[in-house]
Amino acid sequence: MPQPIIFFDYDKITKQVIASGISKKDIYSYFETPYEKVFQDFLWIAQTLLFIAEKQIGISPARVFFNNSFTINAKAGKQNGLYLISINSGLVVQTSLFFSRYADIIEDPMMTFFDKVKGKLPHSIPTLLRDFSVRFTIDHEFAHLYQKRSVDKNWMEMEYSAEKSEEFSIENHVMEFDADFWGVTGVASAIHTYFEGIDDSLKNENTLSALAIIGVTSLLCKFYIGQKTPDRLYFKEHKHPHPLIRAMSICTHLNWILTDNLGQKFHLSWPDIMGNAIFLSDKLLEKNGLKFKGDILLTYVNNLKKIQEYINYLNEQTKQYGNLIINNPPTDKIDISWDKIFKTFNESFDNPDDGDILVGKGSHFAPI
């Protein structure tokens, strides 16, 4: 099902970012690089979401740019009136490389869970793995913009200066829990939209289960390769909750959302989905020269009660913070249907002040 796609002028975006006070040497230019198309995909979905947020809930003006750093990270902030999402170039390149190695395990005899969809989906499995991971990152960072939308002072600099700080606060853990919630909501939305857009002959439990496995795998791998995963499970320590706690929390949320939206028509066996996703994640990590530290399943099973109690605790703590997206989700304010997106962009092209970073439009069937 073709959908509108909007093309943005990255040069104009970066000029606005530099004018806000971000150093030119910190901005990565992806033009004429081997990953130009991948960067354009990142830019399209991120800037589309920010552009609609500008129009509908007042997070304006908002821009995404690529940071000249090869580490796997992203940041959200505000600098001299400009809302920003900064995505490290390393996140784009390394995520793409990581999931491309799926080709090395496609013939594994244990990989039977994709047999009934192999070669039938409009996009390759590595593309879906990458793009679901992208969607989580962008929506997670958008949640941080939403959380601090009423803060007038510059806080992009605060985010960068706090990068090395690992000091624990319950507020930090709750903010990450909240941003993870919105990130996985985006992944569930992407899976749902993709499923609805494919050929009717593919709309069955096998396809939906395959997409759920891909979604969970993208999240598990993202948390493993994007976080410095400690060997020791912890709770009220460090700036962010332990990656295992975050991964299990978002996988639970993904299950709830997909089951709530599609479960009445299609049966999903979540234990099988999780087991297959963990198997696939382990294979991908192995092909990338990595392995889960310790036995992730054993750690999870042995600490299941404590992990669930801490997830419940963080969920309860969210009630103390009125700025969180989980308490006031903008879904009733942001209409991100494709008809609405196209209408908004058409209106912006008629207004030169609004359309200064827009350079074209067309149609495309995109995973995200």
CA 57 from centroid of its chain's CA atoms? 20
Measure the CA–CA gap between 22 and 207, rounded to whole angstroms. Answer: 44
Long-range pairs for 355-358 at CB < 8 Å and ≥24 separation? Answer: 356/9, 356/12, 357/8, 357/9, 357/12, 357/13, 357/16, 357/47, 357/63, 358/6, 358/7, 358/8, 358/9
pLDDT higher at 157 or 237: 237
pLDDT of residue 350: 52
The DSSP code for 356 is: T
SS3 content of the chain, % helix, strand, coil (to 5): 60, 10, 35
pLDDT of residue 1: 44
Mean pLDDT of 259-274: 87
pLDDT higher at 143 or 46: 143
pLDDT higher at 142 or 48: 142
Max intra-chain CA distance, the chain: 59
CA 288 from centroid of its chain's CA atoms? 21
pLDDT band at 365 (very low <50, low <70, confident <90, very high): very low
pLDDT of residue 318: 94
Task: Give CA separation, 136 vs 59, 119, 125, 130, in Å.
Answer: 19, 25, 17, 10
**Per-residue tokens: 262:** 């599609």
Nearest to 95 by CA among 329, 319, 284: 284
pTM across the whole model = 0.89
Residue 231, judged by CB atoms within 10 A of its CB (0-12, 13-18, 19+), counts as: exposed
| Cis-peptide into 230, omega within 30 deg | no
Mean pLDDT of 143-152: 85
pLDDT band at 89 (very low <50, low <70, confident <90, very high): very high
Domain ranges of the chain: 3-364
Q: Does position 163 have pLDDT exceeding 90, yes or no?
A: no
pLDDT of residue 302: 84
Mean pLDDT of 253-281: 89
What's the mean pLDDT when you consider all of the chain? 82
